[in-house]
Amino acid sequence: MFSTKAIIVKKAFHDIHIDVVSLLALRMIFSLPFYLVAAFLVSSRKENVRMNRKQWLGILGLGFVGYYLSSLFDFLGLQYVSAGLERLILFLYPSFVVLINAFFFKAVVSKFQKISLFVTYAGILLAFAGETRLGPQPDSFYWGCLFIFLCAITFSIYIAGSGRMVLQIGATKFTAYAMLAATAGVLINYAVAGKYGLQHADGTVISFGLMLALVATVIPSFLISLAMKKIGSSSVAIISTVGPVSTILQAHLILGEPIFVAQMIGTALVIAGIVVTAFDSKNPLAK
């Protein structure tokens, strides 16, 4: 379901010619009621953990960086790159989590993690080189790759920080409040940008917003939280490697994007790198 996001965004840009900030706002407006209800329900439980000031600042900051900034960079990048390449670059985030933990939390980078980093980056470079061979790329293509790269970095900050906070306050509560912080950032951005085209949104525009909110945001975010609780983040990381393959196939069938050999080999290398990381017992994602 997460892998449908790039497809829906690319389709929206093509069919309704909506700007990035308005599409982001549409996504979060329809998501907002679900996260408000989730936040209320989880905070009403007897076992609810009351957050201190540091935890509030942490959850708001991570939500702002990990879902507002990350989504903004992602949507900006999708204007210029294919959905398949977007998903591959985005899947660099597990390697960034390893590096963040190494540099900021003094975690030791294991042999498995070093192999994973090498294999993952080799896969991205191969897929990137293969895409550029399809024809001369405009400058906007490289800007798009940079935006997706920044998206992967900001999302990895969210993952690295959330791993510690989820243990303190619970996955559902963390997800709900982090997404509410992201929603606030998106709506403030929309208000400041001054583009109020959503006031005249028709059924087609609303349908794209609902698909982005329900299919690509709300349902998978809670499914991921539930999955991590039941089978652990290691198994979730391994299963989530279906994402790039799913996006590439959907992009080919729905958007008509080409599938080429370098892309498939690069995808296989990225998936292999993630699996190596997930199986490493010293990896913070595997705990």
pLDDT digits (tens, 9 = 90+) for 235-282: 666 677 778 888 888 998 999 988 888 888 888 888 887 777 666 655
**Could you tell me the CA-to-CA distances from 18 to 73, 89, 131, 198, 230 in Å, in that order?**
16, 24, 26, 9, 39
pLDDT of 285 over the 60 cut: no
Higher pLDDT, 281 or 118: 118
95 with 272: CB under 8 angstroms? no
The counts of H helices and E strands in the chain are: 13, 0
284 with 114: CB under 8 angstroms? no
Query: How confident is the model over 139-180, as pLDDT tens digits?
Result: 888 999 999 999 999 988 888 787 778 778 887 888 889 999
Q: pTM of this prediction?
A: 0.84
DSSP state of 251: I
* Confidence tier at 28 by pLDDT (50, 70, 90): very high
Higher pLDDT, 124 or 147: 147
pLDDT of 110 over the 90 cut: no
- Using left for φ > 0, alpha for ψ between -120 and 50, and beta otherwise, residue 39 falls in alpha
Mean pLDDT, the chain, whole residue set: 83
82 with 261: CB under 8 angstroms? no
Q: How far apart are CA 227 and CA 233, in angstroms?
A: 8
Q: Give the pair of three-digit tokens for residue 92.
A: 């660099």
